[in-house]
Amino acid sequence: MRIRRAATLVSTFENDKTVLHNFLRKEIFECTPRVLEILARLADWIPLEDALAGLPGDPAANAEILKTLISRDIVLLEGSPAAERDQRYRDHWRWGAVAGFYHFSLRDLEFIDAERKLEQLREYKAEGDSPPLLTSNDGLDVVEPLPPVNLDDPFYDILYRRRSRREYASKPISLQALGNCLFAGKGLKEIGDAGEFGRLPLTMTPSGGARNPFELYVWARAVEGLAPGFYHYSSLEHTLGLVRDDDGAPPPSRLLGKQEWTNGAAAVVFLCATFERSAWKYRQALAYRVVLMEVGAILQNVQLAATHAGIASSPTGALAETEIERLLGLEEIEQATLFAIVLGAGHE
Ligand SMILES: Cc1cc2nc3c(=O)[nH]c(=O)nc-3n(C[C@H](O)[C@H](O)[C@H](O)COP(=O)(O)O)c2cc1C
């Protein structure tokens, strides 16, 4: 039997304690210098009986520590399901512990409902006022006035009318409106030639290195001419492919951070990244941040298209990632749902 430590470990100080985070499992383990010493020896597979050889201290106590580490999947047994999952992380997550700790630790968070959120905000306010949310040029020596923007220009009119709207009329949205939103978000315009490095999709939104890590998925709940279900938007063909029907699916609020308003959604667009697309070219952890930034461009275009189509939309980053990904059939390490946009019929 051979063992090695998990690749998904980070140690931090919490007050007077040293703790070990197994960020893939979202588990925290209080640890001692001896634990770290044992783990330091277990970078590569070694026979279980050799793991503690020559280690100072009481052999029985050391063996007990190792047993606990194994029981917590901090140290992995070769061939176990936990070791296979760890191997999958090693094979597919190219951005190391810096980005991995952040990415995996923030998945599947417990959200609080709107009432509790309000109470919490009151508590924060009691601790001190919010910082100012706008910055004036007052006090600078040179301040240049800018010419006013012409809001009668149809382009600026659309930009100006974009709002996040969370109240939806109980009627369907049109397939045309949904298709326009998806095209605005990730529609394919052309495929550029990158010479020896192949061909790069040029889409409606900018993408770092034109790697286009995002795929859009749609939960259609009330879309004219579309059976309810979970669909994949292929920008290549501008089609929706049914991934699964939505029989037995939980209410949207369970997938979207306990936000009751999402239950009126006619459709939910999920922004899902396939990390390998970006990581193949960009190996530094910064690339993870670049992937996150791309959400903003896609979100903005979808909301603008929704505004133009006269339907309501609102973004949300509060997600039950694992449950959404199970419904969409995504891989847990290679892919992730990073954002959602709720669409619904507007009130006349
Ligand atoms: C990255 C991002 C995350 C957001 N997440 C949520 C959310 O979880 N729930 C929500 O109700 N609104 C969410 N919003 C919408 C903001 O609350 C909204 O944009 C803000 O109040 C400004 O209003 P406007 O979009 O109408 O201009 C999010 C917006 C952004 C850009």
Q: Is 90 exceeded by the pLDDT of residue 348?
A: no
Mean pLDDT, residues 289-305: 98
Please tell me what DSSP assigns to residue 93.
-
Q: Is 70 exceeded by the pLDDT of residue 10?
A: yes
pLDDT digits (tens, 9 = 90+) for 307-320: 999 999 999 999 99
- For ligand 1, what atom is nearest to the CA of residue 164? 26
pLDDT digits (tens, 9 = 90+) for 161-205: 999 999 999 999 999 999 999 999 999 999 999 999 899 999 999
What CATH number does the domain containing 19 carry? 3.90.930
Provide the mean pLDDT of the chain.
97
Separation of 304 CA from ligand 1 center, angstroms?
14
Q: Are residues 294 and 159 in the same domain?
A: yes
CB of 201 sitting under 6 A from ligand 1? no
- β-bridge mates for residue 231, sequence order: 218, 242
Alpha-carbon gap, residue 224 to 266, rounded angstroms? 10
3-state helix, strand and coil shares in percent for the chain, rounded to the nearest 5: 40, 25, 40
| Cα–Cα distance list, 121 to 90, 117, 140, 202, 259 (Å) | 40, 6, 34, 42, 16
- Residue 104 inside a domain? The answer is no
CB of 317 sitting under 6 A from ligand 1? yes
- Residue 99 inside a domain? The answer is no
Separation of 202 CA from ligand 1 center, angstroms?
27
What CATH number does the domain containing 190 carry? 3.40.109.10
pLDDT digits (tens, 9 = 90+) for 55-99: 888 999 999 999 999 999 999 999 999 999 999 999 999 999 999
Separation of 163 CA from ligand 1 center, angstroms?
9
Q: Is 80 exceeded by the pLDDT of residue 260?
A: yes
Q: What is the pTM of this model?
A: 0.96
Range of the structural domain that residue 66 is part of: 2-92
- Residue 225 inside a domain? The answer is yes
CB of 207 sitting under 6 A from ligand 1? no
DSSP 3-state assignment of 48?
helix
CB of 340 sitting under 6 A from ligand 1? no
Residue 347's pLDDT is 80
Q: Are residues 175 and 275 in the same domain?
A: yes
Residue 177's pLDDT is 98
Contacts of 125-133 with CB under 8 Å at 24 or more apart are none
Alpha-carbon gap, residue 84 to 81, rounded angstroms? 5
Residue 87's pLDDT is 98
- For ligand 1, what atom is nearest to the CA of residue 318? 8
- Residue 130 inside a domain? The answer is no
Q: Are residues 306 and 343 in contact, defined by beta-carbon separation less than 8 angstroms?
A: yes
Banded model confidence at residue 54, pLDDT cuts 50, 70, 90:
confident
Pocket test for ligand 1, best of 162, 263, 316, 342 (most atoms within 8 A of CB): 316
- Residue 142 inside a domain? The answer is no
- Residue 112 inside a domain? The answer is no
Q: Which of 38, 58, 92 is the last residue of a domain?
A: 92
Separation of 182 CA from ligand 1 center, angstroms?
19
Q: Which of 42, 69, 92 is the last residue of a domain?
A: 92
Separation of 213 CA from ligand 1 center, angstroms?
22
CB of 68 sitting under 6 A from ligand 1? no
Q: How many CB atoms lie within 10 A of CB 59?
A: 11
| Cα–Cα distance list, 240 to 178, 271, 323, 330 (Å) | 10, 15, 21, 16
- Residue 116 inside a domain? The answer is no
CB of 316 sitting under 6 A from ligand 1? yes
Number of domains in the chain: 2
Separation of 311 CA from ligand 1 center, angstroms?
16
Separation of 316 CA from ligand 1 center, angstroms?
6
pLDDT digits (tens, 9 = 90+) for 109-163: 999 999 999 999 999 999 999 999 999 999 999 999 999 999 999 999 999 999 9
Q: Which of 61, 92, 123 is the last residue of a domain?
A: 92
Q: Are residues 73 and 206 in the same domain?
A: no
